[in-house]
Amino acid sequence: MTQTNWELIRDAASGSATARASLDAVMKRAWPAVYAYIRASGRRSEEATELTQAFICDVLLARRLLEKADQARGRFRTLLLGAVRNYLADVHRRQTAQSRAPRTGLVAIDGTEHGAGALVGEASVGHESTSPERAFNARYVAGLIRSASERLQRELEADGDAASWEIFRLRVLQGAFQGTAPSYEEIAPRLGLDRGQCAARLLVTKRRFASILMDELRATMVDPAELKSEVADLLALLTEGR
Amino acid sequence: MNPMQDTHGTPDPSPDQGGTHEAHALGNTLRWAFELDESPAIAGATFLTREIIPGARDPFDAITTGAATVRQLEDLKNAYKMLRTTGATAPERSLAARLYAATIAAAIVRHGAMITRQTPFALARAFEELAGDPDMPERIRDLGSLAADALGRMK
């Protein structure tokens, strides 16, 4: 069973024997989405890295934000998104107070008020069509998919079924993210299987992947009854580009 | 520590991205993972059918229209054969067994080809069961009858 994010955060901030491992796990889960939000808000790469690190240490862990939050209502994704949005707004206020001329040439802070189209200068390179929320959600889902994929790979290989992982990797992940899924014609002989067996293995693997993905999602929520609506929301967010 | 470092061979879009293509790919992967969740027993067989014959409406169509080649029928047969044991539920495994027999029947009836090493006796019984299964669509039952007849002539 995957540890929930709240369990990890509590442990990471506790100074226990497993705190370091929990901190690493928190970093792995939260970092990419937070970083993507900050980058898409117009920060340069180095500054975004520093701010992400600071956010995780100062807000996520030191202030124990999620512990204080009403966990009964909490989805890790929405809490994290709200927290990083507020954090950046605070940073912006502090910087504006210190100097009327932002040293990074930054324009946009909050994607809801200042879309990515408003970004200027070097900081906006590569982000012309990406709102901070969209970048955050995409990275968040990417993290879930990656985490589930890694676990799937570990489990399949431990079962001595590396072939199923290979079929999944080539047909699904490579197909989705690189746009080129090799045919069963190419895959089957390499694995010593026939084409029908490859397809059947993919079906079994698909179901296992879905189950692991659900487990990963469950770890981000307090109320399991909200799982389905979280999946629907994520699909809508990715489809609609919000 | 670099939390973005990929060490497991999983494709990892650039953390600086979040654009349309990536969101599309992520959405498709999520949708792909969950699309079977609430479907009936036929969902697994339909998935397999479309993996082998992209664009096929369902297994019954793929088997009965006559458009499938012998090779595709053989691939379908092998896929359904495995689903007979790996299916998630008893109805799914049961359907897979019927579809397995139906692909062999289609190869005989449509192409005059034998794609199995099953004995004629076992085949005759499987085709009779196919023809008499009220849960199968009429076109599949008809295919079972035609295959049983064809098998009789081949003996």
Distance from CA of A163 to the nearest CA of B (A): 14
Do A106 and A212 belong together in one domain?
no
In the predicted structure, residue A239 carries a pLDDT above the cut 80: no
Which range among A25-39, A171-185, B37-51 shows the weakest confidence by mean pLDDT?
B37-51
Last residue within a domain, chosen from A84, A99, A129: A129
Are both A25 and A114 inside the same structural domain? yes
Measured between CA atoms, how close is B2 to chain A, in angstroms? 8
How many domains would you assign to chain A? 2
Picking from A129, A163, A185, the residue at the C-terminal end of a domain is A129
Read off the pLDDT band of A23 (50, 70, 90). Answer: confident
B54 Cβ under 8 Å from any chain A Cβ: no
A60 plus A160 within the same structural domain: no
Longest pairwise C-alpha distance within chain B: 72
Cα–Cα nearest to A77, from A47, A112, A37 = A37
- Kindly tell me if the per-residue pLDDT of A160 is higher than 70: yes
Instruction: Name the average pLDDT for chain A.
Output: 79
Closest CA to A107 of A86, A92, A125, A128: A92
Longest dimension (CA), chain A: 67
pLDDT in the model for residue A111: 33
A73 plus A185 within the same structural domain? no
Q: What is the pLDDT of residues B139-151, one digit of tens each?
A: 999 999 999 999 9
**Which residues make beta-bridge pairs with A221?**
A75
Q: Are A10 and A87 part of one and the same domain?
A: yes
What residues in B contact A231, CB-CB < 8 Å?
30, 34
Name residues 67-86 of chain B within 8 A of A (Cβ). 74-83, 86
| pLDDT band per the 50, 70, 90 thresholds, residue A127 | very low
Task: Give the domain extent around A141.
Answer: 137-240
CB A98 within 8 A of CB A90: no
> Is A117 found in the same domain as A17?
yes
Domain's final residue, options A77, A97, A129: A129
Q: Calculate how close chain A gets to B138, using CA atoms only, in Å.
A: 26
- Report ipTM for this prediction: 0.83
What string of H, E and C letters represents the secondary structure of chain A? Answer: CCCCHHHHHHHHCCCCCCHHHHHHHHHHHHHHHHHHHHHHCCCCHHHHHHHHHHHHHHHHHHCCHHHHCCHHHCEHHHHHHHHHHHHHHHHHHHHHHHCCCCCCCCCCCCCCCCCHHHCCCHHHCCCCCCCHHHHHHHHHHHHHHHHHHHHHHHHHHHCCCHHHHHHHHHHHHHHHHHCCCCCHHHHHHHHCCCHHHHHHHHHHHHHHHHHHHHHHHHCCECCHHHHHHHHHHHHHHHHHCC
Locate the chain A residue with the closest alpha carbon to B96: A200
Tell whether A110 and A201 lie within a shared domain.
no
DSSP secondary structure code for residue B106 in this structure: H
Inter-chain residue contact B17 with A194, CB threshold 8 Å: no
Q: Are residues A96 and A152 in the same domain?
A: no
> Over the stretch B82-127, which tens digit does the pLDDT of each residue have?
999 999 899 999 999 999 999 999 999 999 999 999 999 999 999 9
Q: A90 and A177, same structural domain?
A: no
Closest chain B residue by Cα to residue A149: B10
**Residue of chain B with shortest Cα separation from A49:** B2
Nearest to A203 among B20, B48, B78 (CB): B48
Specify the higher pLDDT residue, A129 or B110. B110
Instruction: To the nearest 10°, report the CA torsion of B99, B105, B107, B108.
Output: 170
Assess whether pLDDT exceeds 70 at residue A71.
no
Q: Has residue A212 got a pLDDT over 90?
A: yes
A82 and A157 inside one domain: no
A199 vs B16, B20, B48: nearest CB:
B48
At B38 the pLDDT is 52
- Residue A56: the pLDDT is 86
Note the pLDDT of residue A120.
19
The first and second tokens of residue A72, run together, are 């009964």
A199 and A116 both lie in a single domain? no
Same domain, A118 and A229: no
A-B C-beta contacts closer than 8 Å: 159
> Which of B28, B37, B82 minimises the CB distance to A176?
B28
> Please, which residues 98-117 of chain B have a Cβ atom closer than 8 Å to chain A?
none
Residues of B in contact with A186 (CB under 8 A): none
- Asked if pLDDT for residue A27 goes beyond 50, the answer is yes
Confidence band for A204, pLDDT divided at 50, 70 and 90? very high
Q: Within an 8 Å CB–CB cutoff, is residue B5 touching chain A?
A: no
Kindly determine whether residue A199 and residue B77, on different chains, have CB atoms separated by under 8 Å.
no
Q: Closest chain A residue to B18 measured between Cα atoms?
A: A135
